[in-house]
Structure 1
Amino acid sequence: MENAQKCPVCGVSIVNDKVFFSSGSTGTLARLQARVCQFAKQPGCINTDEDKIGEVTAVDGYLKP
Protein backbone atom coordinates (compact mmCIF):
# COMPACT_ATOMS: atom_id res chain seq x y z
CA MET A 1 0.00 0.00 0.00
CA GLU A 2 1.23 3.44 -0.89
CA ASN A 3 1.86 5.77 2.09
CA ALA A 4 0.78 3.03 4.52
CA GLN A 5 1.75 3.17 8.17
CA LYS A 6 0.84 0.95 11.10
CA CYS A 7 0.81 2.41 14.60
CA PRO A 8 2.89 0.34 17.02
CA VAL A 9 0.79 1.63 19.93
CA CYS A 10 -2.79 0.87 18.86
CA GLY A 11 -2.29 -1.20 15.70
CA VAL A 12 -4.44 0.86 13.32
CA SER A 13 -3.40 1.19 9.71
CA ILE A 14 -3.25 4.65 8.14
CA VAL A 15 -3.16 5.03 4.36
CA ASN A 16 -3.12 8.55 2.91
CA ASP A 17 -4.67 9.96 6.13
CA LYS A 18 -7.50 7.39 6.03
CA VAL A 19 -7.64 5.29 9.21
CA PHE A 20 -8.50 1.59 9.10
CA PHE A 21 -9.71 0.54 12.56
CA SER A 22 -9.70 -3.13 13.62
CA SER A 23 -13.49 -3.14 13.34
CA GLY A 24 -16.09 -0.82 11.90
CA SER A 25 -15.82 1.69 9.12
CA THR A 26 -12.78 3.71 8.16
CA GLY A 27 -12.20 7.07 9.78
CA THR A 28 -10.12 10.19 9.90
CA LEU A 29 -7.08 11.17 11.92
CA ALA A 30 -9.36 13.37 14.05
CA ARG A 31 -11.59 10.38 14.82
CA LEU A 32 -8.52 8.32 15.74
CA GLN A 33 -7.38 11.12 18.05
CA ALA A 34 -10.80 11.36 19.73
CA ARG A 35 -11.29 7.63 20.18
CA VAL A 36 -7.81 6.25 20.81
CA CYS A 37 -4.77 8.54 20.89
CA GLN A 38 -5.95 10.94 23.58
CA PHE A 39 -6.31 7.97 25.94
CA ALA A 40 -3.33 5.83 24.88
CA LYS A 41 -0.70 8.60 25.16
CA GLN A 42 2.28 6.32 24.66
CA PRO A 43 5.62 6.91 22.95
CA GLY A 44 5.58 5.69 19.37
CA CYS A 45 2.10 6.96 18.50
CA ILE A 46 2.14 8.03 14.83
CA ASN A 47 -0.92 10.33 15.06
CA THR A 48 0.76 13.34 16.68
CA ASP A 49 0.83 16.00 13.95
CA GLU A 50 -1.89 18.47 15.01
CA ASP A 51 -1.91 20.09 11.55
CA LYS A 52 -2.78 16.73 9.94
CA ILE A 53 -5.27 15.72 12.65
CA GLY A 54 -7.25 18.92 12.26
CA GLU A 55 -10.18 19.86 14.45
CA VAL A 56 -11.70 17.11 16.56
CA THR A 57 -15.49 17.52 16.67
CA ALA A 58 -18.26 15.91 18.73
CA VAL A 59 -19.03 13.43 15.94
CA ASP A 60 -15.46 12.13 16.04
CA GLY A 61 -15.85 10.79 19.58
CA TYR A 62 -18.26 8.15 20.78
CA LEU A 63 -21.77 9.53 21.07
CA LYS A 64 -23.20 9.19 24.54
CA PRO A 65 -26.73 7.76 24.72
Structure 2
Amino acid sequence: MTTNTPDNCQTCPICRVKIAHDDKVYFSSGQPGTRARLYARVCQYAKKAGCINQNKEAIGTLTKSDGFSTGEEIKKMLKAS
Protein backbone atom coordinates (compact mmCIF):
# COMPACT_ATOMS: atom_id res chain seq x y z
CA MET A 1 0.00 0.00 0.00
CA THR A 2 1.39 3.40 -0.88
CA THR A 3 0.34 6.58 0.81
CA ASN A 4 0.18 9.92 -0.97
CA THR A 5 2.20 12.40 1.01
CA PRO A 6 2.42 16.16 0.56
CA ASP A 7 5.63 17.62 -0.84
CA ASN A 8 6.32 19.66 2.30
CA CYS A 9 7.32 16.73 4.55
CA GLN A 10 10.41 16.20 6.65
CA THR A 11 11.81 12.67 6.46
CA CYS A 12 13.36 11.20 9.58
CA PRO A 13 16.85 9.89 8.78
CA ILE A 14 16.41 7.16 11.42
CA CYS A 15 13.05 5.51 10.62
CA ARG A 16 12.32 7.14 7.22
CA VAL A 17 8.81 8.21 8.32
CA LYS A 18 7.51 11.47 6.82
CA ILE A 19 6.10 14.29 8.96
CA ALA A 20 4.14 17.11 7.30
CA HIS A 21 4.14 20.70 8.56
CA ASP A 22 0.69 20.11 10.09
CA ASP A 23 2.33 17.32 12.19
CA LYS A 24 0.50 14.55 10.33
CA VAL A 25 2.76 11.49 10.22
CA TYR A 26 2.90 9.29 7.13
CA PHE A 27 4.03 5.77 7.95
CA SER A 28 5.36 3.37 5.30
CA SER A 29 1.99 1.61 5.33
CA GLY A 30 -1.42 2.21 6.84
CA GLN A 31 -3.24 5.38 7.67
CA PRO A 32 -1.49 8.64 8.61
CA GLY A 33 -1.09 9.20 12.34
CA THR A 34 0.22 11.64 14.90
CA ARG A 35 3.61 12.46 16.37
CA ALA A 36 2.40 10.90 19.63
CA ARG A 37 1.65 7.59 17.93
CA LEU A 38 5.03 7.65 16.17
CA TYR A 39 6.80 8.34 19.47
CA ALA A 40 4.87 5.64 21.34
CA ARG A 41 5.58 2.99 18.71
CA VAL A 42 9.04 3.88 17.43
CA CYS A 43 10.95 6.89 18.70
CA GLN A 44 10.99 6.12 22.41
CA TYR A 45 12.68 2.80 21.61
CA ALA A 46 15.01 3.83 18.77
CA LYS A 47 16.78 6.58 20.78
CA LYS A 48 19.18 7.50 18.00
CA ALA A 49 20.76 10.85 17.28
CA GLY A 50 19.05 12.57 14.37
CA CYS A 51 15.48 11.50 15.18
CA ILE A 52 13.17 14.40 14.26
CA ASN A 53 10.43 13.42 16.73
CA GLN A 54 11.97 14.06 20.14
CA ASN A 55 10.46 17.47 21.02
CA LYS A 56 8.00 16.70 23.85
CA GLU A 57 5.96 19.84 23.10
CA ALA A 58 5.49 18.84 19.44
CA ILE A 59 4.68 15.22 20.35
CA GLY A 60 1.88 16.22 22.69
CA THR A 61 0.07 13.96 25.11
CA LEU A 62 0.39 10.22 24.64
CA THR A 63 -2.80 8.20 24.97
CA LYS A 64 -3.25 4.50 25.55
CA SER A 65 -4.34 4.04 21.94
CA ASP A 66 -1.05 5.49 20.64
CA GLY A 67 0.95 2.47 21.77
CA PHE A 68 0.56 -1.21 21.05
CA SER A 69 -1.75 -3.43 23.06
CA THR A 70 -0.13 -5.71 25.63
CA GLY A 71 -0.57 -9.47 25.62
CA GLU A 72 -2.98 -9.27 28.56
CA GLU A 73 -5.13 -6.64 26.82
CA ILE A 74 -5.32 -8.80 23.71
CA LYS A 75 -6.34 -11.85 25.79
CA LYS A 76 -9.16 -9.84 27.39
CA MET A 77 -10.38 -8.65 23.98
CA LEU A 78 -10.40 -12.21 22.64
CA LYS A 79 -12.33 -13.51 25.65
CA ALA A 80 -14.92 -10.73 25.30
CA SER A 81 -15.58 -11.49 21.63
- Shared fold, TM over 0.5: yes
Of 23, 33, 38, the match for 1:27: 33
Q: Which of residues 45, 61, 65 is equivalent to 2:67?
A: 61
Shift of 1:24: 1.1
* TM-score (norm. length: structure 2): 0.75
Task: Give TM-score, length-normalised by structure 1.
Answer: 0.92
Higher strand share: 1
Percent identity reads 53
| 1:34-54 per-position Cα deviation (integer Å, ceiling 9, x unaligned) | 000011000000001111101
SS in 1 for 2:64: coil
Gaps of 5+ in 2: 1-6, 75-81
The answer to which structure has the higher helix fraction is: 2
CA RMSD across the alignment:
0.8
Unaligned segments of structure 1, at least 5 residues: none
When Rg is computed on C-alpha atoms for both structures, the one with the higher figure is: 2
**What is the aligned partner in structure 2 of residue 37 from structure 1?**
43
Aligned to 1:17: 23
